Amino acid sequence: NAGVTQTPKFQVLKTGQSMTLQCAQDMNHEYMSWYRQDPGMGLRLIHYSVGAGITDQGEVPNGYNVSRSTTEDFPLRLLSAAPSQTSVYFCASSYSQGEAFFGQGTRLTVV
């Protein structure tokens, strides 16, 4: 039982490049979400999904896309990376009313 697995752990992008951050969970949780963590700002919700085929925007969705084709996977796509997207990204999963379990994070630098 691996929990929530994020890949890659580190990534450097050039401005304008696109990439996908991967997130997978093996706990059969219906609820998955993506957060970004910036110094002094806690974790802010980017996008979330309440089940396969259903996604919605969080607090800071601009510049990111998500899809949820399976219960297990919830990739986050950066369409055209900008320096403002330099951050640490966390994926989390939970049952709808339960505790959220987090991955180890992806540290992204956009130059």
Residues binding another protein (CB under 8 A): 4, 31, 33, 35, 40-45, 48, 50, 56, 58-59, 90, 92, 96-97, 99-105
Q: Is 16 or 98 the residue whose CB approaches another protein more closely?
A: 98
Cβ proximity of 6 and 93 under 8 Å: no
Nearer to another protein, 54 or 79 (CB): 54
Nearer to another protein, 15 or 95 (CB): 95
Q: Which two tokens stand for residue 64?
A: 């990111």
Is the peptide bond prior to 8 cis by the omega test (within 30 degrees of 0)? yes
* Sequence-ordered list of residues with C-beta below 8 angstroms from that of 2, at least 6 positions apart, any chain: 26
CB of 15 to another protein, least distance (A): 26
Nearest distance from residue 72's CB to another protein, in Å? 18
In whole angstroms, what is the distance from residue 63 CA to residue 95 CA? 27
